[in-house]
Amino acid sequence: MLVENCFFKQKFCSAVGIKVRLVFVLTLLIFFPIFNDGFYYAFSQNVRVSFSSNSTTDHTNPEKGKLIIQVNNLKNNDGKIIFHLFNTETGKYFPTKSDNSSLRVDSKISKNQVRITIEDLPYGNYAYTLHHDENDNKKMDKTWLGLPAEGWALSNEIKPVLSLPDFDEGKFLLNKPKMEITTTLNY
């Protein structure tokens, strides 16, 4: 009986320890990106974000522009749009590892559309992914075949057939004060 009690307490304590560690990690994931200069995590309907980076490569070209992404054909107002922007430094993660993007924006949907504005974005090459997180579970749901079950889009209107694109296929050049891109989701 004494051995069973010790075993039970050990399991209970380790479960509590795991919960404490999980809460700590979740707290870091939620609050660290908000205060870190190189990464933004925003919630809004019509999003306006000011981009900042502590990268040394940004100093070679101090010019900055405004990027506007307009999404019009959402099939409903459920959930939100999750937008990830990749630059040349984070491009190796495009499009599969969105958590490693340079910028994430979660945007509420109104009248089946979303407008995301990113200001003070240094000139350079970028690519983006976005998806309509209809059930608001903060991830891209997939079918049993591994295909997207929610609306999605990639920069340059890429529609992969046999393999996912790389950053070079999705990149576009921001080299003017204002760039507007209208994109269509694939459902």
Q: What is the pLDDT of residues 147-165, one digit of tens each?
A: 899 999 999 999 988 888 9
Return the exposure string of 62-88: e unless at least 16 CB atoms fall within 10 Å of the residue's CB, then b: eebbbbebebeebeeeebbbbbbbbbe
Same domain, 153 and 70: yes
Tens digit of each residue's pLDDT (9 = 90 or more) over 54-93: 444 444 547 999 999 999 989 999 999 999 999 999 889 9
One domain, residues 25 and 95: no
**18 and 68 belong to one structural domain:** no
Structural domain boundaries enclosing 174: 41-183
pTM: 0.68
Could you tell me if 88 and 132 lie in one domain? yes
Residues 86 and 157 in one domain: yes
